[in-house]
Amino acid sequence: MTLEVLGVEGLPEVAAGADLGELIAKAGTYQDGDILVVTSKIVSKAEGRLLHAADREAAIDAETVRVVARRGPVRIVENRNGLVMAAAGVDASNTAPGTVLLLPEDPDASARALRARLQRLTGRRLAVVVTDTFGRPWRNGLTDVAIGAAGLSVLEDHRGRTDSHGNLLEMTVTATADELAAAADLVKGKASGVPVAVVRGLGHLVTAEDGDGTRPLVRPAVDDMFRLGTSEALRQAVTLRRTVRSFTTEPVDPAAVRRAVAAAVTAPAPHHTTPWRFVLLESADTRVRLLDAMLAAWRRDLRDLDGWDEARIARRTARGDVLRDAPYLVVPCLVTDGSHDYPDPRRAAAEREMFTVAAGAAVQNLLVALTGEGYGSAWVSSTMFCRDTVREVLDLPEGWDPMGAVAVGRPAEEPKVRPERDAEAFVTVR
């Protein structure tokens, strides 16, 4: 098979309203099965997507539906077509000062219209790929990718085939349109003034129908393991963390909990200590024994209080049902090994508080990490009211102080949307 990639030279500067198909048709000679690869800049110019904007950031805001990652002034965002790219594709290069160029409003529609026009003018069977320049998450350097297509299957699915050694291919799906875009960019270049290339020799890829365009190239959110930048993922996990009080019966992956514990123990602590221990209740029998013993101890304590009849006690102890209904429990414990011994009660109390704060920071890390693993959680304080009982049932050392219990599991329903809290309401500046 012979493959040629040919630049289409001699195209004039494209202005708004230009008949782009006619310009391209006149600039070259085409054959059946040719694939025309067209940089999005000239498509945008022909469609009047040039914007007079002194503030490029405002133009990026207008084109953005979701910020994926941000570092300094650089933003990786998703635009309304689902494309994840730097600055939403808003480009200030190759345009007059004080203007920016936006991507085509619907690149697939642009590719379909351009293909139809070119086929009418040339009488040839053609495909069209509209491209733009992207960075890549794991590699340096830029390359062109397809953002619009017509007359071409943008993906080639090799799954179910065998390789040259007879091995079954189970994962391989080739991004054909992106490969064409990158190959064409070798003759188009970034500053050569050649915005169109012809890829010749792959006529078998050209389809009679326009096809689905580039939509199949956009990974669905549910399958995107890298949907957010690091800091954005952390902020979203913190924002999405909710107290979950109803769980499904799906078992919890113990490895996921251990990963969450690994995040928990990065919390700050006084005197270079490690004042946390996490007791993982993976046995249903152990959970039941603990909760039954805690319930009995709680009832005994409440009966000693004035005005607490059995009905009131039942209502109060029912709050612990979230622990009983969860498929997994974690009991975080505070260990004050390494604390300083102060004879002054005030300093001794402060020392204890320092360690308690560290325990709280560790539990917060745990809860956020569990959210990142897809689990819901509820931090319930009940073990703090019967620490001796908990230590006895779980056979814990005397110096381990249970700091509540964390129920873990898949949420049975979507948490209610919580209104955003204005941080300024909690800030005092001196």
Give the three-state DSSP class for 311: helix
> Could you read off the pLDDT of 126-142 as tens digits, one per residue?
999 999 999 888 889 99
- What's 166-204 look like in SS3? CCECCCCEECHHHHHHHHHHHHHCCCCCCCEEEEECCHH
Q: Judge whether 111 lies within some domain.
A: yes
Is it the case that residue 204 has pLDDT exceeding 90? Answer: yes
The pLDDT of residue 190 is 63
pLDDT digits (tens, 9 = 90+) for 326-373: 999 999 999 999 989 898 989 989 999 999 999 999 999 999 999 888
Chain segment 1-52, per-residue pLDDT in tens: 789 999 999 999 999 999 999 999 999 999 999 999 999 999 999 999 988 8
The reply to whether 14 and 42 lie within a common domain is yes
CA angle 313, 319, 321 (to 5 degrees): 110
209/296 same-domain check: no
Q: For all residues of the chain together, what is the average pLDDT?
A: 90
Q: Please tell me the distance from the alpha carbon of residue 213 to that of residue 128, in angstroms, as a whole number.
A: 10
What is the C-alpha to C-alpha distance for residues 380 and 378, in angstroms, rounded to an integer?
A: 6
Same domain, 205 and 136: yes
**Residue 322 and residue 274 share a domain:** yes
**Domain-embedded: residue 90:** no
Q: What is the pLDDT of residues 258-316, one digit of tens each?
A: 999 999 999 999 999 999 999 999 999 999 999 999 999 888 888 888 888 888 888 88
158-199 pLDDT, tens digit each: 666 766 777 766 667 899 999 999 999 999 966 578 999 999
Q: Is the residue at 289 inside a domain?
A: yes
Q: 263: domain range?
A: 242-426
72 domain residue, yes or no: no
Asked, for residue 159, whether it belongs to a domain, the answer is yes
Higher-confidence residue: 160 or 90?
90
The enclosing domain of 332 has a CATH number of 3.40.109.10
Same structural domain, 186 and 286: no
pLDDT at site 74: 86
- Mean per-residue pLDDT for 84-102? 84
**Whether residue 266 is found in the same domain as residue 410:** yes
What's the CATH number where 168 sits? 3.30.1330.100
pTM over 0.75? The answer is no
What's the pLDDT score for residue 418? 75
**Residue where a domain terminates, one of 194, 223, 252:** 223
Asked if 265 and 397 sit in the same domain, the reply is: yes
On whether both 262 and 160 belong to a single domain, the answer is no
Domain boundary among 223, 250, 276: 223
184 and 324 co-located in one domain: no
**Residues 218 and 249 both lie in one domain:** no
Per the structure, the count of domains in the chain is 2
Nearest to 279 by CA among 410, 394, 397: 394
One domain, residues 250 and 206: no
The CA distance from 126 to 207, in Å, is 8
pLDDT score, position 415 = 74
Give the model's pLDDT for residue 400: 97
Q: What does the pLDDT read at residue 191? A: 59
Residue 74 lies in a domain: no
What confidence category does residue 98 fall into, taking pLDDT thresholds of 50, 70 and 90? Answer: confident
Residue 69 has a pLDDT of 85
> Would residue 109 count as lying in a domain?
yes
Computed on alpha carbons and rounded to an integer, the radius of gyration of the chain in Å comes to 31
